[in-house]
Structure 1
């Protein structure tokens, strides 16, 4: 396998579509290729963000309601979404995915994934859980699409990758991870802001998901970075274990 071949495997690696032999060869290549490491992390972030469309479980009666209303309600894609997705695919084929294309793809995916939920809310009044999920998705998309959004990606070990996206204008940050091992039973991954060595809780990750995007809870303020530790279920006031990941915020 040539170096040129390895440069072309970032997309397949992000989707866990490589064989064991190819994965070993590509991860060896990642250690010495900053461009591929960055691109693989960003593509992994894209894949994880696309998965957010499936985080809301529809009510059991939704199918019956949709079938009853299908003759009178025509679902339309959001304005411009088709062209955004088309451009995103073209850039993926060209291997160069900029931060702006990433934000556009993720925003389009959020809009497309939320269409059915939005229609149900208009028809039947959304549940509190659906509203919270939609709000979280919107906030994540807003950070990713912010004009001043800056990203930093890193390999976290065990084949996982993490990307932190920071918007200073919104004073918010998002952590996107792919391939994170499940924590031990009764444990959870907890996020922290690094305030010049003082760790401030930034919320919990979903222990049942290996790929996810999480809005850090709280303001970025003067934090210089973030960390991830393994804590007892429910989280801790202060870290009780060594960090499994530390990322400095992009400037």
Structure 2
């Protein structure tokens, strides 16, 4: 199998739809091709998110039809210095580049009992994946900064809050444990303390309220932070007494 053909197998590999021989060849190729490795990571995350988000019982004949049709479908190679024009392989029909990802996801639907209803769902899931990756990268950058400093304090109701601040990165990360789930119509909101003036730093909207949050906006001259319980959507200024206050540690 040529290198050009290997570049087209990312979607099928991400969904475990390759024959053993092609799978082994592609895995060797992945070690030397970062573009394909990145595309496999994105497609795998996309398929997993779609499987959780969109569920429906697949028609009995869908699995057989999809497995038959994917032998004639190949996606275009990644556009990293390679031609994006489709070429036919011996014994295979021409590729359908526009529908390649949709066809691969249909394999996942057939095997797992999940049917993908709209192409837009693919775009939304991939965007969500990229946003999550950017968030994780920014959090890691703060936590790994040489000047990162940590402060921890008890909060109302037995919860505990921890903040990590990096002045060089100019960002802060907040983590909470033991926060009770807010009532309907309420949300936890974070604040920077700019010399006694509270500046919104985003909402704690993780499903279980026990998570790591990259605080919105730069730290700048803030000397500390607080957390309050606000109406859904947040408030421009705190409307309730703080559940917790923490001063930022000195650099």
**TM-score normalised over the length of structure 2:** 0.54
Match 1:120 to one of 17, 20, 44: 44
Q: Is the 8 A contact 1:188 1:207 kept in 2?
A: no
**Following the alignment from structure 2 to structure 1, what is the Cα–Cα distance between the partners of residues 12 and 236?**
43
Cα distance in 2 between the residues matched to 1:153 and 1:115: 39
Contact 1:201–1:238 (8 Å) recurs in 2: yes
Deviation at 1:186, TM superposition (A): 0.8
In the other structure, the counterpart of 1:237 is: 236
Q: Determine if contact 1:183/1:207 at 8 Å carries over to the other structure.
A: no
Does the C-alpha gap of structure 1 residues 148 and 64 become closer, same or farther in structure 2, counting only changes over 3 Å? same
Q: Secondary structure at the match of 1:136?
A: helix
Q: 1:224 to 1:67 in 2, by over 3 A?
A: same
3-state SS in 1 of match to 2:131: helix
**Distance change (3 Å), C-alpha of 1:190 and 1:245:** same
**TM-score normalized with structure 1 length:** 0.54
Consecutive unaligned residues in structure 2, runs of 5 or more: 1-10, 29-37, 46-77, 79-99, 102-122
Aligned pair in 2 of structure 1 residues 131, 178: CA closer, same or farther (>3 Å)? same
- Correspondence list, 1:59-74, <5 A: 65-69=14-18, 71=20, 72=23, 74=27
Which stretch of structure 1 is more off in the superposition, 64-73 or 206-215? Answer: 64-73
Indicate the residue corresponding to 1:170 in structure 2: 169
Aligned equivalents of 1:249, 1:70: Cα separation in 2: 56
The Cα shift of 1:228 comes to 0.5
The structure-2 alpha-carbon separation of the partners of 1:117 and 1:188, relative to structure 1 and needing over 3 Å to count, comes to: farther
Superposition CA RMSD, Å:
3.1
Between the aligned partners of 1:65 and 1:218, the Cα distance in structure 2 is 36
Distance change >3 Å, CA 200–CA 70, structure 1 → 2: farther
Write the distance in 1 (CA, Å) between the matches of 2:199 and 2:19. 49
Partner of 2:185: 186
Pairwise CA distance, 1:65: 4.5
Structure 2 CA distance, aligned partners of 1:115 and 1:229? Answer: 41
Query: In the aligned structure 2, how far is the partner of 1:63 from the partner of 1:231?
Result: 46
CA contact (8 A) 1:177 1:213 kept: yes
How many residues matched?
A: 153
Which whole-Å CA distance do the structure 2 matches of 1:64 and 1:170 have between them?
38
Alpha-carbon contact 1:182-1:207 (below 8 Å) kept: no
Tell me which of the two structures has the higher relative contact order, counting C-alpha pairs closer than 8 angstroms and 6 or more residues apart: 1
- Distance in 2 (CA, whole Å) between partners of 1:188 and 1:207 is 10
Task: Provide the rounded CA distance (Å) in 2 between the counterparts of 1:227 and 1:165.
Answer: 13
The answer (yes or no) to whether the contact 2:227–2:245 under 8 Å persists in 1 is yes
Indicate if the aligned counterparts of 1:190 and 1:235 stay in contact, CA closer than 8 A. yes
**Following the alignment from structure 2 to structure 1, what is the Cα–Cα distance between the partners of residues 212 and 157?**
18
Unaligned runs of 5+ in 1: 1-61, 76-113
Do 1:154 and 1:163's aligned partners in 2 also have CA atoms closer than 8 Å? yes
Q: How far did residue 120 of structure 1 move?
A: 3.1
In 2, the alpha carbon distance for the partners of 1:119 and 1:64 equals: 9
Shift in alpha-carbon separation, 1:64–1:178, aligned structure 2, 3 A: farther
